[in-house]
Structures are given as C-alpha cells and as structure tokens.
C-alpha cells in the first residue's frame, strides 16, 4: 500500500472526502516527523513507537574494494512495533 492507497482507504472507511483524508494523513505524518526531529517520541499504544536513535561512528568496509570507510555518527529515525501490531502480523 502506498500513500495514495492509504488516503483512499481512510476516505472510504471514514466516509470523508479524499481531500480531507489526505490532509489528515499528511498532518499526522508531519506531527510524527516534527516530534521525532525535536528529540521526542510518538507512542501509539498497541501500534508502536516512533523515535530518533543515535548511531555511533564506525568503520565499515566497501564490499567492492575491501577498503575501510569511515562512517560518521548520525541520528536515524526508528520504529518499534507494539505488541498488538506484532500479534496481528504473526501467523497462527
């Protein structure tokens, strides 16, 4: 499912217009991104948690040449699925 299909599903399931559904999806994603960038986390009970995580600097290896490459420290977005989400995805 891509973003357009998500918007269509939200509009269909809520009975709202696609324009309103698009605005709500966009705003929800924007709030999650802004909170994560600010160093916070967004915890949706049963669904999961969005947060930023720090990665330490490290030395990696170029797979083509075998040469060592320095990878600087960085901050990356992360998502940890909640129990209800994990249970829904697990077979059986």
pTM of the model: 0.80
- Residue whose C-alpha is closest to residue 57's, from 44, 69, 47: 69
Mean pLDDT, 10 residues at a time, the chain of 92 residues? 97 97 97 96 96 96 95 96 94 74
pLDDT of amino acid 48: 97
* Residue 53 contacts residue 80 (beta carbons within 8 Å): no
pLDDT of amino acid 92: 67
Q: 41: how many CB neighbours lie within 10 A of its CB?
A: 14
Question: Phi/psi of residue 23, each to 5°?
Answer: -65, -40
């Amino acid at each position: 499912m891509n973003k357009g299909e998500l918007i269509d599903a939200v509009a269909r399931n809520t009975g709202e217009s696609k324009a309103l559904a698009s605005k709500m999806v966009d705003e929800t994603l924007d709030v999650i991104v802004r909170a994560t960038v600010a160093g916070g986390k967004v915890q949706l009970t049963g669904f999961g948690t969005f947060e930023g995580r720090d990665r330490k600097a490290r030395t990696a290896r170029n797979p083509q040449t075998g040469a060592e490459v320095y990878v600087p420290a960085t901050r990356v977005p992360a998502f940890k699925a909640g129990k209800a989400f994990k249970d829904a995805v697990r077979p059986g």
